[in-house]
Chain A
Amino acid sequence: GEDVEQSLFLSVREGDSSVINCTYTDSSSTYLYWYKQEPGAGLQLLTYIFSNMDMKQDQRLTVLLNKKDKHLSLRIADTQTGDSAIYFCAPLGRADSNYQLIWGAGTKLIIKP
């Protein structure tokens, strides 16, 4: 089946930029999503990028997509303690006639003071 890979942990200093990387196998993904899970909470949609885009910026968040290499990244500028969370990469894949998100294992972002 299709696969999504992410590093399990990323540690950055407060105020630095965080870059969370993701590689995927489904080249037909039309939308690629980033979800955020704060401690003790459910997942919430953070941002997404459409497959015909290379970059999308939304305030402190920048999503980069390299379709050729099937590589997606999420950059968080000026990382704050409130950014501590698990970040999931989730390309939208298609199985039969149904669209399904294909989830990475999640990257836990740890902020050092």
Chain B
Amino acid sequence: DSGVTQTPKHLITATGQRVTLRCSPRSGDLSVYWYQQSLDQGLQFLIQYYNGEERAKGNILERFSAQQFPDLHSELNLSSLELGDSALYFCASRPGGQANTGELFFGEGSRLTVL
């Protein structure tokens, strides 16, 4: 158990809909990362937050947005869903923001299926 909790574990929805994925980082971790893992594109970094502020942005679509709340949990919002958004979405956390180490603690992921 990594200590990172993601909900829901599975989600099935239709094209055009909007969903919210939730992540609770390990206790005390200030940094939260979101990743998308699909069969054809591997693991893609979406966005990072540190203590409530956006720290780095990766390949995140404009239809997607995220935030980190004062209690440090984070939400990833996916809107106007397309079939190609079907993927496993991972949240990961680590203690610091600019720490020059790469140890991340991953949740078990939220599997999104868009029909």
Q: Is the CB of B102 within 8 A of A103?
A: no
**Which residues 18-74 in A have Cβ within 8 Å of B in the complex?**
30-31, 33, 40-45, 48
* Structural contact, A31 and B109, CB atoms closer than 8 A: no
State A80–B60 Cα separation when bound (angstroms): 37
Complex formed: what's the CA distance from A99 to B97 in Å?
Answer: 9
Contact B108 A41 (CB under 8 A): yes
Chain B CB within 10 A, most for which of A30, A45, A48, A101: A101
Chain B count of residues within 8 A CB distance of the other chain: 22
Contact (Cβ within 8 A) B102 A42: no
Indicate whether A42 sits within 8 Å of B100 (C-beta atoms), given known contacts A103-B42, A105-B42, A106-B43. Answer: no
B79 nearest CB across to chain A (Å): 25
Instruction: Give bound CA distance, A98 to B33, whole Å.
Output: 13
Q: In the assembly, what is the distance between CA of A98 and CA of B104, in Å?
A: 15
Residues of B within 8 A of A33 (CB): 102-103
Q: Name the residue on A nearest B41 (C-beta).
A: A105
Could you tell me if A101 and B42 are in contact, using CB atoms closer than 8 angstroms?
Answer: no
For this complex, 9 residue pairs linking A to B, each with C-beta atoms less than 8 Å apart, are A31-B102, A41-B108, A42-B106, A44-B2, A92-B101, A98-B98, A101-B104, A103-B43, A105-B43
Interface residue ranges, B against A (CB under 8 Å) = 2, 4, 42-43, 45, 48, 55-56, 90, 92, 97-104, 106-109
Check A43 against B90 for contact (C-beta < 8 Å): yes
Verify A42–B90 contact, CB threshold 8 A.
Answer: yes
Given A95-B56, A98-B56, A45–B104 Cβ distance below 8 Å? yes
* B44 to A, closest residue via Cβ: A103
On whether A31 and B2 interact (CB within 8 A), knowing A42-B106, A44-B106, A106-B43, the answer reads: no
Q: Which residues of A contact B (CB under 8 A)?
A: 30-31, 33, 40-45, 48, 88, 90, 92, 95, 97-101, 103-106
**Cβ contacts under 8 Å, A101 to chain B:** 45, 102, 104
Residues of B within 8 A of A103 (CB): 42-43, 45
User: A100 with B42: in contact, given A42-B108, A44-B106, A92-B100 (CB under 8 Å)?
Assistant: no
